[in-house]
Amino acid sequence: MLNSFFEMPKTLDLFQFAVLNPQIAMLTFLEVGKEMASQPKKMEEAQLDLTNRLCELQKAFAEKICNQNNASIDLTYNKNTQKFEENALNKNPMMIFSRCFYETISNWMLDTLDSIEGVDPFLMKSARFFMKQYIDMMSPDNFPFLNPNVIKEAIDTSGENFAKGIEMLLNDLKNGAITTNDREKFKVGVDIAVTPGKVIFQNDIIELIQYSPSTSKVFSVPILFVPPWINKFYILDLKPESSLVKWAIDKGFTVFMISWVNPDKRYRKKGFEDYIIDGLLASINKIVDVTGTKKINTLGYCVGGTLIASFLAYLAHPSCNMRPKAEIVSTTLLTTLLDFEHSGDMAIFMAENYLEAINAQLKESGILEGSVLYNTFSALKAKDMIWRYFINSYMLGKKPGPHEILFWNSDSTNLTEAMQTFLAKDLYKDNLLKTGNLKIFGVPINLKLIKTAIYMISTKKDHLVPWQATFDGIKLLNDKVRFVLGGSGHVAGVVNPPSRNKYCYWTNSQQTKTAQEWLETAVETAGSWWNDWFEWIKTISGTTIIPPQITNSIRNAPGIYVNNETPEILKL
């Protein structure tokens, strides 16, 4: 219903489609409006509900103001510091009412939307997403004269904050993205991604890094890290104290890392199968050549995990005719989707109208630019990734400070035309991995055939890969899966070293039908899931041996692909 209703011009800018196109939002609400208009009883109930809520607001506000003897429009001035008190404006009745009114209307809008019956589920999902975007945008904090902190800063600095803010705004408009961190404070290979190692192999798609050992003995089964190709690999190797790579090395593992190339238009035809052959398979074979191992552990983050799972299912099929030199004895899937039916807010951008417009642009450029992906992911968490910096930078005039994860987050990469089409259509839209209709090298992929031991970690507040969706994914696998739920979100929940003693994780030995049942009967453990993962993986990593030495290398880690260099001569 939604797709047939949309008829978008093919000449619209890609940035509009990949982030927030007001035309699509408007047409979505028009379609929902049709449904609501056909339910006059619901409209009548909604109007009465709004009237009641506003009356309650007026009553509660009046009581609150009358009970606050110090409620005043006056500002308290501190003669010693020559500044106004920090929270003086928060007591202002106008500020109090604006927030109460905003909260009342916002809740009513969402509740009314949810009450509409008979709406196409995807259409409702789209409408709710756009509604939340609108609500976040209309927050009183985003308006200078309704934000007490902005007013105070303007008075204290004689308006200098606005001058600084305009300067930063113009600079961000020039760069095409909101600045979320001080990028000058980090340099890849100097401040982050500094774990010692060498690039031991390179082709058109990857550099393979072998990290130097830090222990006198290591487990005989090495680990290959497979990061997502829509981001840089060093999310797993940030500062030493938060590096999963360094932590695993210090625990006695020989670690290898794939660093994907940042593709340009010459790579437009490189797709999922190419990333398996020239990425995953080539890496495993090279690891065997340099270590002599017959077994290997793998770890995949996000779509890197989807790549590994798909390859394992291919290897398990009787028609498989292309095998690696080593047996994959385990895989760890970090926030990985296998069942894309409930893929969260990302599904909004898989609607036919978005895909048609993006495909039209892909035919011209051959790639989906990384800046588009970055802005899209930011829009999915607009309150934290857009409006927070809109206020701090443009209204308060404060330059963002350094933040290693946000630095990585803004270091975006491109997607090839073939890969974007595969991810959007075959996985997200058609969910072929679940239905069994996905074929790799002509072989149908059935995840149930996988016999490899699997550790799957999801995070409770993940907005990109909802943990309930990853839980659905384990139903497609065999019984040899350890499912663990971590705290926080898609990145912070994964990059959670034990030394920080943050968050917690949940485990459950029982088999449950739903994610909610699993959580209700799960055991909560304080601290990082890394400890639980180590206890699991060490039992299948063999005996301890003298660390394999790095003999032949091309260059030092982190290599050149991570800095957006590409081979001078391609064999595409």
Nearest of 393, 475, 440, 497 to residue 162 by alpha carbon: 393
Token pair for 135? 């609500």
Buried b (16+ CB within 10 A) or exposed e, 194-209: bbebbbbbbbbbbbbb
Three-state secondary structure readout of 189-203? CCCECCCCEEEEEEC
Q: Identify residue 491 by its one-letter amino acid code.
A: V
At 216 the three-state DSSP class reads: coil
Buried b (16+ CB within 10 A) or exposed e, 69-90: eeeeeeeeeeeeeeebeeebbe
Q: Compute CA distances 441 → 286, 311, 340, 476, 557, whole Å.
A: 21, 10, 22, 21, 32
CA distance 481 to 467: 15
Token pair for 313? 């299912």
Question: In what helix (H) or strand (E) does residue 316 lie, and over which residues does it extend?
Answer: helix 303-316
Buried b (16+ CB within 10 A) or exposed e, 411-423: bbbbbbbbbbbbb
Our CA angle for 439, 442, 443, nearest 5°, is 65
CA distance 335 to 337: 7
Catalytic member of 100, 302, 320, 504: 302
CA distance 368 to 265: 9
Nearest of 333, 493, 491, 347 to residue 409 by alpha carbon: 491
CA distance 415 to 370: 7
DSSP bridge partners of 444: 439
**Is-catalytic flag, 55?**
no
Longest dimension (CA), the chain: 82
What is the number of helices (H) and of strands (E) in the chain?
22, 19
Token pair for 564? 């957006």
State the first-to-last Cα distance of the chain, in angstroms, to the nearest integer.
41
Beta strands in 270-321 (DSSP E): 295-301
Phi/psi at 482 (5° precision) = -105, 110
Compute the CA torsion angle 91, 96, 98, 99 (nearest 10 deg). 120
Q: Compute CA distances 369 → 141, 174, 218, 362, 564, whole Å.
A: 32, 16, 40, 9, 13
Nearest of 177, 110, 120 to residue 4 by alpha carbon: 120
Q: Which residues are catalytic?
A: 302
